Amino acid sequence: MRDPHDIIIRPIVTEASMDNMADKKYTFVVDKKSNKTEIKNAVEKIFGVKVDSVNTMNMLGKKKRMGASVGKKNDWKKAIVTLTEESKTIEFFEGI
C-alpha cells in the first residue's frame, strides 16, 4: 500500500471550495493514478475523519505561450471528499 501523503498532494483553496466546506466537502489535488478507495483511506488516515463519498475528475492542463513557442501545463486529478454528518471537520482548513 502506498503512503497516504503520496496520494493527497495538496488542498485546493478557492472561493468555490471554501463555500463547499459548509457542507463538509473538501477539495484536494491527488495523484493521477489513485482511485476513489485509495483517496478515501488516505483522507481518513491523515485527518482522522470519516469519509462519506469521493468524487474525482481529471483536469486538463492549460496551454501557455511564451512568445512564439507554445507549451502545456501538466494534467492533474482533483478529488472532492464529502464527510459524514457525525464526522468532525478537517482542522487544516479552519484557519483559512
CA distance 26 to 14: 11
- Annotation: CATH topology of 4-85: Alpha-Beta Plaits (3.30.70)
3-class SS of residue 65: strand
Q: What is the pTM of this model?
A: 0.89
Q: What is the pLDDT of residues 15-67, one digit of tens each?
A: 999 999 989 999 999 999 999 999 999 999 999 999 999 999 999 999 999 99
- Please state, in angstroms and rounded to a whole number, the distance separating the CA atoms of residues 47 and 62: 31
